[in-house]
Structure 1
Amino acid sequence: MPNKPNHWGYKMFVLVGENPQYGFCTDIVLDLSETVPRLMNHKIYFDNYCTNIRLQVELKRLGIYAVGTVRSNRLPDLVMKTKQELTREGRGAMDYRIAEVDGVELCATRWYGNNVVNRLSTLHGCDNTDLAKRWSSK
């Protein structure tokens, strides 16, 4: 991993489910969240390794809110501004879409700072954005 402070090492992800139902990452997160109480407004945050639409839909059905960064290829059929369009608009540019999947409302946001970041959420909506001052070396 050339961009990490420790360039060398091993990473092992070993969790095996007995009956795969939704896919590797979704099944693992659902198994790990079995102890989270249902319908009590608990929230789970995760990175783009696990985030996908099916996982967020299944967690919401269990009464658990979810927020995570998401890879662009895990948002199929969702037309949003491209990286080039957001870059042209400048730092702080964003685009969002609200989608309903199996009766669950999802908010997908694409934001441009130093790079493009995608977020998928069943907790936070897409409206009410605020301006924020960010530090820049310029």
Structure 2
Amino acid sequence: MSFILYTGKPDKQEHGFCTNIVLDLCATVPRAINHKVYCDNYFTTIRLQVELEKLGIYTVGTVRPNRLTDLTMKNKKELSSKGRGAMDHRIAEVDGVTLCVTRWYDNNVVNCLSTLHGCESLDSVKRWSSQPKNVYIL
């Protein structure tokens, strides 16, 4: 198990604070043998996913909307008007790395960025609602 203690702002900021932390933690991960890294929206950036893919490490993570610059997708209003399960996706290429961005609506909008999973594989699930007799099929 690896961890990094925060000791203040580092002198070296090659890719950005969050990206550098994950890259440092992944320094001991063997390359190009299908390892996968999952991140929450604090750490997920486009640059992180590109750098890890170049090392042969796949990534999936929720991502903050402000980190998806220059990407036009349906907004919260458009998705919420279609109800739970509404989604939008885009495929982008950055520095020769293919990224899949998926935005879907549940109770709120969730954004996911991945170099592992594509955007087309959809599954149906039952989702319980507190409203009487409502079960949503997503």
Q: TM-score, normalised by structure 2?
A: 0.87
Once the two structures are overlaid, the 10-residue window that deviates more, 124-133 or 82-91, is 124-133
Q: How does 1:108-119 map to 2 (within 5 A)?
A: 108-119=101-112
- Is residue 101 of structure 2 the alignment partner of residue 130 of structure 1? no
State the alpha-carbon separation in 1 of the partners of residues 38 and 11 from structure 2.
25
For residues 17-59 of structure 1, the C-alpha deviation after alignment (integer angstroms, 9 at most, x for no partner) is 5532111011111001101100010000010001010000000
Residue identity (%): 67
> Whose strand proportion is higher, 1 or 2?
2
The answer on whether the counterparts of 1:17 and 1:28 sit within 8 Å (CA) in structure 2 is: no
Instruction: Map 1:1-138 to 2 at 5 A.
Output: 14=6, 17=10, 19-138=12-131
CA RMSD of aligned residues (A): 1.3
Tell me the amino acid that sits aligned with residue 124 of structure 1: H
CA distance in 2, matches of 1:22, 1:61: 14
With structure 1 as the length reference, what TM-score do the two structures score? 0.87
4+ residue segments displaced more than 4 Å: 15-18
> How many corresponding residue pairs?
126
> For each residue in 1:75-130, what CA deviation from the matched residue of structure 2 results, as whole angstroms up to 9, or x when unmatched?
00100000000000001100000000000000000010011000000000001212
